[in-house]
Amino acid sequence: MNVLDAIAQGRPLLIHVAPDNDRLIAALVKHPKGWVFADVGWAGPLCSFHPFHLVEGELSGEGPWQLGDYVITEAEPGSEQAKEWAAWTAWAKENGATPKRAAEVILERF
């Protein structure tokens, strides 16, 4: 499956940025220098100071996916990441923090 299709289906995807540092992807947008992803919580009251991240390189694969030097996988059902994803998507739905809105914000900032 294409990673953008997985995001559109609302699957909880993780980008492995370092050992023991997996980030949930709320949105993913093509950029001239690569791809920009949004952390979950990008629009929430607990938003980190830097919720958008540029990753240089190409995106490939059908799952798991390769994005530049990083690997993207789907969170395991029942895992802490899957629970965090469920909480985020419930909050995001109530507050209009859609992947489309994240893409708009990303394009404004980058």
Helix H, strand E, coil C: the string for 8-57 is HCCCCEEEEEECCEEEEEEEEEEECCEEEEEECCCCCCCCCCCCEEEEEC
Q: Who wins on pLDDT, 103 or 30?
A: 30
Ordered by start, the domain boundaries in the chain are 3-105
What per-residue confidence (pLDDT) applies to 41?
82
Q: What length is written for the chain?
A: 110
pLDDT one-digit tens code per residue, 24-79:
999 999 999 999 999 888 876 656 678 899 999 999 999 999 999 999 999 999 99
* Burial class (CB within 10 angstroms; exposed 0-12, middle 13-18, buried 19+) of 15: buried
Distance (Å, rounded) from C-alpha 29 to C-alpha 99?
9
